[in-house]
Amino acid sequence: MSDQMRYDGRVAIVTGAGGGLGRAHALLLASRGAKILVNDLGSSAKGDGADMGPADQVVAEIKAAGGEAAANTDSVVDGDKIVQAAMDAFGRLDILINNAGFLRDVGFHNMTEADWTDIYQVHLFGAFKVTHAAWPILREARYGRIINTSSAAGIYGNFGQVNYSTAKLGLHGFTQALAVEGRPRGIHVNTIAPAADSRLTRTVMTPEQLKNVQPDRVSPLAAWLCHESCNETGGLFESGGGWNAKLQWVRTKGTRVGAGEEFGPEAVRDAWGAITDFSEASNPGDFASSMAPLAEIMGNG
Ligand code: NAI
């Protein structure tokens, strides 16, 4: 392919790259010239234990295909060690894909504090730790591409996943604010919410259902968002089986109630139709434009 997108000279960290989606992202970027730090703690699908095997195996696969990679088995909660390992191995950093994670599904009424904290630690705190260690390097280089991995469970909510849904939507808040801070420094940050066959989805879906949603159908979106020619930042994308879509916040036009008169819940009740009417909805794309109606009110008193 003459216009093949390449990542020569770029160094990428992919967390949780010992299997599933992370492995597919790592293999694709490596096949296009990126040097990869393959991070994977090698824990179980519920987050227990540790194993050197998965990271080593993906490094071996990349090398067998002629690529360059190094293995790292630190937990993402020790993100500074992961970033240091990439710098030690390759001397620079350009791309970070925060992908590591596991599930601890349980109804909220049975959820323990450990179920909540363990999921928060790996998905949100882990992404924070790796990104926080990478950030000064990317700022200094005035270049970076970061992907955070969310989930439909976070965007829409799902039974038995209060811990996971919270962390996963939190990751998009992380993306949106980082994108604002990173933009002037050439650092682009986006969120993907994938759907793919992996040990996480095999527990709830059949092999037949998962046949057409292999992880390598998501990796091209991740790779595009990580390419130097991609200007997208702060975005949220769903991806699975080759289907890709962008999400936005949708807000009703809204209406101001209680201006200049006694203002109680009755006024909100009586205006409920207008408050919740999506017929004139808009998509405020950033914080400043989201504030437009309030700015008007503040301006007019
Ligand atoms: P997976 O279980 O195959 O891969 C996750 C990897 O993360 C595993 O290899 C695991 O050893 C590693 N890991 C777990 N804890 C870690 C830690 N503390 N430090 C470093 N590595 C650690 O699962 P899959 O499906 O590939 O998941 C990848 C990401 O995509 C996860 O964040 C998951 O929540 C997310 N996701 C996956 C969906 C799917 O349909 N497969 C749907 C929505 C989100």
How does pLDDT run across 144-154, given as a tens digit for each residue? 999 999 999 99
User: What integer pLDDT is reported at residue 299 of this predicted model?
Assistant: 85
CATH number of 249-301: 1.10.287.4290
Model confidence at 301, in pLDDT bands (50, 70, 90)? Answer: low
Q: Cα separation of 232 and 221, whole Å? A: 12
User: What integer pLDDT is reported at residue 147 of this predicted model?
Assistant: 98
Q: How far is the CA of 103 from the centre of ligand 1 (A)?
A: 8
pLDDT in tens, 92-145: 999 999 999 999 999 999 999 999 999 999 999 999 999 999 999 999 999 999
The three-state (H, E, C) secondary structure of 68-86, written as one string: EEEEECCCHHHHHHHHHHH
Q: Is residue 1 pLDDT above 80, yes or no?
A: no
Q: Residue 122 carries which DSSP code? A: I
Residue 120 is a catalytic residue: no
Q: What are the residue boundaries of the structural domains of the chain, listed by start? A: 11-247, 249-301
Model pTM above 0.95:
yes
Note every long-range contact of 162-167, with CB atoms under 8 Å and residues 24 or more positions apart, other chains counting. Answer: 162/108, 162/111, 162/116, 163/104, 163/111, 163/115, 163/116, 163/118, 163/119, 163/120, 164/103, 164/104, 164/105, 164/119, 164/123, 166/120, 167/119, 167/120, 167/123, 167/124
What is the position in ligand 1's atom list of the atom closest to the CA of 121? 18
pLDDT in tens, 162-171: 999 999 999 9
Q: Cα separation of 146 and 173, whole Å? A: 14
User: What integer pLDDT is reported at residue 258 of this predicted model?
Assistant: 81
User: What integer pLDDT is reported at residue 204 of this predicted model?
Assistant: 86
Q: Is residue 68 pLDDT above 80, yes or no?
A: yes
Chain mean pLDDT for the chain: 96
What is the position in ligand 1's atom list of the atom closest to the CA of 195? 40
Phi-psi region of 241 (alpha: psi -120 to 50; beta: other; left: phi over 0): left
**CATH for 11-247 (3.40.50.720, 1.20.1050.10, 3.40.109.10, 3.30.300.180):** 3.40.50.720
User: What integer pLDDT is reported at residue 300 of this predicted model?
Assistant: 65
Tokens of 232: 């997208």
Higher per-residue confidence, 285 vs 81: 81
User: What integer pLDDT is reported at residue 2 of this predicted model?
Assistant: 64
pLDDT in tens, 169-198: 999 999 999 999 999 999 999 999 999 999
User: What integer pLDDT is reported at residue 209 of this predicted model?
Assistant: 93
In this structure, which residue's CA is closest to atom 14 in ligand 1? 101
What is the position in ligand 1's atom list of the atom closest to the CA of 73? 20
Q: Cα separation of 115 and 111, whole Å? A: 6
Whether 11-247 and 249-301 share one fold: the answer is no
User: What integer pLDDT is reported at residue 40 of this predicted model?
Assistant: 98
- Indicate the range of 8-17, 43-52, 218-227, 266-275 predicted with least confidence: 43-52
Q: What is the largest CA-CA distance in the chain?
A: 74
Q: Is residue 232 pLDDT above 60, yes or no?
A: yes
In this structure, which residue's CA is closest to atom 42 in ligand 1? 195
